[in-house]
Amino acid sequence: MDEHTLHQLGKVELHCHLDGSLSLEMIRKLAARINLTLPASDEALRQLVTAPPDATDLMDYLKPFDFIRPLLQTKEALSMAAYDVVAQAAAENVRYIEVRFAPILSMDEGLSAADTIQAVIDGLHRGMAQFDIIARALVCGMRQFPAASNDAMFKQAAPLLGHGLVGGDFAGNEADFPPAVLQTSIQKAQRLGIPLTLHAGECHCAENIYLALQFGIQRIGHATALTHEPKVIQAFVERGATAELCLTSNLQTRAATSLADFPYQALRAAEAKVTINTDNRTVSNTTLTREYWLFAQNFGVTIADLLQFNHDAVTAAFCTEAQKAVLHQRLDADYRPYL
Ligand SMILES: O=c1[nH]cnc2c1ncn2[C@@H]1O[C@H](CO)[C@@H](O)[C@H]1O
Ligand SMILES: [Zn+2]
């Protein structure tokens, strides 16, 4: 299996952050709009927006996001950014993508949460008009922000469900704000009818995954801490949950200290549903094709495995059943020549 074949294959991506995935070209365009001077060379710019190579933990990894935040404070900027991520995904044959972002981080200059979501949806729609891809939005509450801010954001988000928005998540500082602390906000979002995925198990705490499952959440972002926890893996499988795995990101945040520490093999042995994702194309300096290649190189996954991961991704996606049926068929057609 070579990288070219992996590039050609149709793909479905459930876990991709908007602000962590802007192309350098788009970062330059957005910086020009706020008169921010950037390093002239792409190499120097890349260093500013990529996770530090010696990051010690998740919070260290998240530092480049502070640099991106001022760039995404207008509707135009959010729309341009969303279009940019759709274009990148379409270029590597992603057929369906859920792009997530945190409205609260784009409200510094007066936008409402609803404004930010509508702007991202507009950009996704412009991308869909241009490229052969379906793109939907997810909104992230930020764990370290006041519950009231997250609750208000989800309240404004709910009416946009079915209009380009398909669900929610909580991102940010998991170690200090685990699911137990978020319980009330999670339940409020669920009562609004917002389908949730949740970042959990990225800080060596399998208990967070267990609790997310207990809360009725069936998609887990990262799920890294499952590796050495057979009991939690069993609960994960029993619940029919799906893992949104992000290999490169996990090695950078030290959620996994080595390949052996990454939960793929354990999940595979338990016949759990897994999907491959970038997390952050730019901050993690990766692509979905590269993530597939890493799985092929390190874990010996086959084309048939990849097809299965993509079917599982479609099944776990938050789009409509009618769209899922079309996507399943499309994947079968995409993979047939390679099987
Ligand atoms: O791997 C991750 N774990 C937790 N939070 C993350 C990760 N990647 C990005 N973000 C956070 O999500 C926000 C919205 O996109 C980003 O600003 C970043 O702070
Ligand atoms: Zn993430």
Would you say the CB of residue 102 lies under 6 angstroms from ligand 1? yes
Surface-to-core class of residue 97, CB atoms within 10 Å of its CB (0-12 exposed, 13-18 middle, 19+ buried)? buried
d(CA 188, CA 169): 13
Asked if residue 278 has its Cβ within 6 Å of ligand 1, the reply is no
Convert the pLDDT of each residue in 16-39 to its tens digit: 999 999 999 999 999 999 999 999
Q: Does residue 12 contact residue 89 with C-beta atoms inside 8 Å?
A: no
Q: What is the mean pLDDT of residues 254-275?
A: 97
Q: What is the pLDDT of residue 47?
A: 96
Atom of ligand 1 nearest to the CA of 171: 5
Q: What three-state secondary structure class fits 164?
A: coil
Give me ligand 2 centre to Cα 143, in Å. Answer: 13
Supply the mean pLDDT for the chain. 98
The total of other beta-carbon atoms located within 10 Å of residue 129's CB is: 9
CA angle 137, 143, 148 (to 5 degrees): 90
Cα(211) to centroid(ligand 2), Å: 18
For residue 251, pLDDT beyond 90: yes
Rg of the chain on CA atoms, in Å: 18
Q: What angle do CA 101, 105, 109 make, to 5 degrees?
A: 130
Name the catalytic one among 92, 98, 174, 202.
202
Residues counted in the chain = 339
Atom of ligand 1 nearest to the CA of 101: 15
* pLDDT at residue 1, rounded to an integer: 84
DSSP string, 266-294: HHHHTT-EEEE--B-TTTTT--HHHHHHH
What confidence tens digit (pLDDT) does each residue in 181-240 have?
A: 999 999 999 999 999 999 999 999 999 999 999 999 999 999 999 999 999 999 999 999
Q: Which residues pair with 279 in a beta bridge?
A: 16
What's the gap in Å between 211 CA and the centre of ligand 1?
20
Per-residue model confidence (pLDDT) at position 317? 99
105 lines ligand 1 (CB under 6 A): yes
DSSP notation for 91-148: HTTEEEEEEEE-GGGG-TTS--HHHHHHHHHHHHHHHHHHSS-EEEEEEEEETTS-HH
**Is 202 part of the annotated catalytic residue set?**
yes
Q: What is the edge-to-edge ordering of all strands in the sheet holding 165-171?
A: 11-17, 94-101, 134-142, 165-171
The finding on whether 280 has its CB within 6 A of some atom of ligand 1 is yes
pLDDT, position 283: 98
Nearest atom in ligand 1 to 222's CA: 1
**Residue 53 has which token pair?**
């190579």
Average pLDDT (132-157) is 98
Per-residue pLDDT, 294 = 98
Name the closest-CA residue to atom 19, ligand 1.
172
Neighbouring residues of 45: CB distance < 8 A, sequence distance ≥ 6: 24, 27, 28, 38, 39
